[in-house]
């Protein structure tokens, strides 16, 4: 079950406790990503003490942020698997951009859509970990 507490813990960990240096470097340096993950997990200690749940939340957060994995989700939904009127059809491979969105999408919009996809990944994984591993 996904709860408001879980969403608040994510927002506090990802936006209030994350420094600008962490945000600037987490996709470039593993140490910065690890520092971000350790501070990100602090609010989750109020929700669970399960080492397995915290490992799942922290480990996946590290991987998603360090390697910008949300861009692959965006790229898949906007690239090869798009089609006419929402029907899935093969459209060929498109270049992978920093956000996963095609170059024709305005940069400001691509960034915000990427951030939304990134947050969705984190919240879904966190909810699953708190439900089934805690």
Q: pLDDT at residue 17 above 90?
A: yes
Could you tell me how far CA 10 lies from the centroid of its own chain? 11
Has residue 120 got a pLDDT over 80?
yes
Residues 62-100: pLDDT tens digits? 999 999 999 999 988 876 655 555 555 555 667 889 999
**Burial class of residue 27, CB neighbours in 10 A (0-12, 13-18, 19+):** middle
How far, in Å, CA of 58 to CA of 55, rounded? Answer: 5
Tens of pLDDT along 51-61?
A: 999 999 999 99
DSSP sequence for 65-83: HHTTTHHHHHHHHHTTT--
Torsion of CA 124, 125, 126, 127, to 10 degrees: 50
**pLDDT number for residue 83:** 54
Label residue 108 by pLDDT band (50, 70, 90).
Answer: very high
Burial class of residue 24, CB neighbours in 10 A (0-12, 13-18, 19+): exposed
Which residues, in sequence order, are CB contacts of 55 under 8 Å at separation 6+?
A: none
Q: What is the pLDDT of residue 88?
A: 54
Domain map (residue ranges) of the chain = 4-132
pLDDT of residue 76: 84
Mean pLDDT score across all residues of the chain? 91
CA angle (36, 73, 84) in 5-degree steps? 155
């Amino acid at each position: 079950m996904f709860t408001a507490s879980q969403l608040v813990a994510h927002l506090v960990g990802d936006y209030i406790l994350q420094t600008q240096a962490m945000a600037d470097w987490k996709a470039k340096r593993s140490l910065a990503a690890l520092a971000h993950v350790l501070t990100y997990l602090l609010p989750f200690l109020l929700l669970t003490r399960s080492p397995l749940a915290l490992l799942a939340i922290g480990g996946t957060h590290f991987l998603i942020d360090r390697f910008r994995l949300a861009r692959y989700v965006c790229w898949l939904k906007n690239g090869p698997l798009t089609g006419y009127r929402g029907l899935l059809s093969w459209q060929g491979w498109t270049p992978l951009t920093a956000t996963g969105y095609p170059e024709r999408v305005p940069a400001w919009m691509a960034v915000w859509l990427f951030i939304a996809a990134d947050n969705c990944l984190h919240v879904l994984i966190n909810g699953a970990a708190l439900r089934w591993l805690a």
